[in-house]
Chain A
Amino acid sequence: MIRFARLASSLAIITLLGLAPSAQALEEEVVLGLSQDRVAITADFDGSEILIFGAVKRETPIPKGPPLQVIVAVSGPSSPVTVRRKEKKLGIWVNADSVIVDSAPSFYAIATSAPFQEVISDTEDLRYRVSITRAIRSVGAAMNIENAQDFADAVVRIREDEGLYSLRENTVAVDQQTLFRSAIDMPSDLTEGQYTARIFLTRSGQVVSSFETDIDVRKVGLERFLYSMSREQPFLYGLMSLAIAVVAGWGASAAFRLLRQ
């Protein structure tokens, strides 16, 4: 009997140890809503704004200490990118060194409820790959090139200039440490694919809960039709392009003749 009790208690300890981190994470949990879970790229697509809102579900009272912070990160599909650097050779600027960045998202927007450094600690950022620099992976950067990091930085800088990458601090509104909402601007130059929205709840820089959901970005209607045709029936697509060109050329010529008469 005693032996059994001891076994049971040690089992309980093991279970407790095993569950401890997840039990803590479950104390506060994200319940999420999106204004739209798909973005349709139509011919007159001019960007889109996605409202991301949610609530924090908890069984226990709000923990004391630093307030709850929220990070919303929306990322586009990742792909490898070749980064080239120009150098002056024989008086002209030419592409010299190049580095392949293994994976960089086509779009990445972060919204936080406070300055980024206060919201998440560096270790947690490293673990969850939240910040823009961490979202880019350049594992296999060539060893023969100095300052390989400059190339990864260039990806961030160029895409920030193009409005594809953004970090907007203090743009997540948090009410009563329970309700939060934010809006992410999707630019007009979106590429197709599966986008991911990630939400992190943090307290004193530690992630206490996270949630992930997909946003489907797709061309629809005419855009879809033309894109598919150019890939699946390239010969026909080429002929169609030429036919349109010839008809338009003839049409304009005929119209101008009529106008002159």
Chain B
Amino acid sequence: MQVYLPIAEVSVNAFLLLGLGGIVGILSGMFGVGGGFLMTPLLFFIGIPPVVAVATEANQIVASSFSGVLAHFRRRTVDIKMGVVLQVGGLIGAGLGVVVFNYLKSLGQVDLLVTLCYVVFLGIVGTLMFIESLNAIFKSKRAGSGPAPRRQRGWVHALPFKMRFRTSGLYISVIPPIMVGVAVGILAAIMGVGGGFIMVPAMIYILGMPTKVVVGTSLFQIILVTAFTTMLHATTNYTVDIVLAVLLLVGGVIGAQIGTRIGVYLKAEQLRILLALMVMLVCAKLGLDLLLMPDELYSLGAAGGH
């Protein structure tokens, strides 16, 4: 069944969009990532104009994250206090990110920067997580049982403005979470993603939060930041396609529910190694696109607007 998208001005198969939404939704629920880093490139691939894909994806992430976070709320695996602190940083970051984005747009190299951002961040995050998860799996096998204590005492604990985050069992300064929020917010606005794939490892490795609350808290934080991004895109670029968003999110919210339940049956290390593999796969694909000679050297864009 073909559907004509009013803002994107292309006609696409509705079931294809539902399916894509569903698959990405499952991953979103399992890993606590918005799934934007997978969905945005997939939308480019099926012919949605990039500006529309990025803006609409933000709206879809709101839906799948909201669906996912409700399940986590019931299981009490959301650190609301930490989430709010991250959101404060996230909003500042998203605002900064839009400024940076528009500046790069005026230079005409925004596509390259977005792709480079993807390759660099997905590459680093994916590789680190993969190595760490492998180590954790080997360690837990050797030790027999019991999760290895992962509580670093470093620069994070030496900073002022300490705050108690009871759900996470942390007593740390608010500066690192805000910094993480800002950094993820900037990247989210530039890359058109929720930023979960960076947020999740940052929470685990920098803030030292327990894996159990990381997923729910990440989803909680993503909702507000992507809602903010959606509004920015809708009011400045008019690029949010509501029909596309509805089709993606119907698949997405159902997928997220399934994914959250699958996530319960998997061990944290297994979850992380799967996420790491996926992140590395997307990174490799985007990296190859930069390195290999493209079939079509030329590309078209609307003049004037950019």
Contact = CB atoms under 8 A, between A and B. Distances in A.
Given A244-B242, A248-B253, A252-B257, A223 B71 contact: no
Given A235-B234, A238-B234, A245-B245, A227 B67 contact: no
B85 interface: no
B42 interface: no
Given A189-B9, A230-B240, A44 B2 contact: yes
B147 interface: no
A241 B300 contact: no
Given A82-B302, A253-B257, A88 B293 contact: yes
Contacts of B256: 249, 252
Contact of A248 (B9, B246, B290): B246
Contacts of B62: 242, 245-246, 249
A256 B62 CA distance: 18
Contact of A83 (B4, B290, B298): B298
A158 B235 contact: no
A3 to B, nearest CB: 63
A226 B4 contact: no
B59 interface: yes
B160 interface: no
Contact of B294 (A93, A100, A191, A246): A93
Interface in B213-233: 227, 230-231, 233
B3 A44 contact: yes
B6 interface: yes
Contacts of B300: 81-84, 154-155, 158-159
A92 interface: yes
A81 B242 contact: no
Contacts of B9: 189-192
Interface stretch (B108-116, B161-169, B177-185, B267-275): B108-116
Interface string A228-246: 0011001101111110111
Contact of B246 (A92, A227, A242, A244): A244
Contacts of A234: 234-235, 238
A93 B256 CA distance: 36
Interface residues of B, number: 59
A245 B249 contact: yes
A252 B67 contact: yes
Contacts of A80: 302-304
B298 A237 contact: no
B71 A45 contact: no
Contact of B63 (A92, A159, A230, A245): A245
Contact of B60 (A154, A245, A251, A256): A245
A101 B1 CA distance: 36
Contacts of A237: 234, 240, 242
Contacts of A157: 296, 298
Interface in B11-65: 11, 47, 59-60, 62-65
Nearest to A159: B300
A98 interface: yes
Contact of B230 (A47, A190, A241): A241
A204 interface: no
A242 B293 contact: no
Interface in A57-98: 79-88, 91-95, 98
B190 interface: no
A85 to B, nearest CB: 5
A198 B237 CA distance: 35
Contact of B11 (A188, A224, A249): A188
A46 interface: yes
B27 to A, nearest CB: 16
Interface in B277-306: 289-294, 296-304, 306
A101 to B, nearest CB: 8
Nearest to A47: B11
A65 B70 CA distance: 80
Interface in A156-215: 157-159, 188-192
Given A43-B3, A237-B240, A244 B245 contact: yes
Contacts of A101: 303
B254 interface: yes
Nearest to B56: A241
A55 to B, nearest CB: 34
Which are the 10 A-B pairs with shortest beta-carbon distances? A249-B66, A238-B234, A188-B11, A252-B253, A154-B298, A245-B63, A249-B67, A80-B303, A253-B70, A45-B4
14 contacts: A44-B2, A46-B2, A82-B301, A93-B294, A98-B108, A189-B11, A189-B47, A227-B6, A238-B231, A242-B59, A244-B242, A248-B67, A252-B67, A256-B254
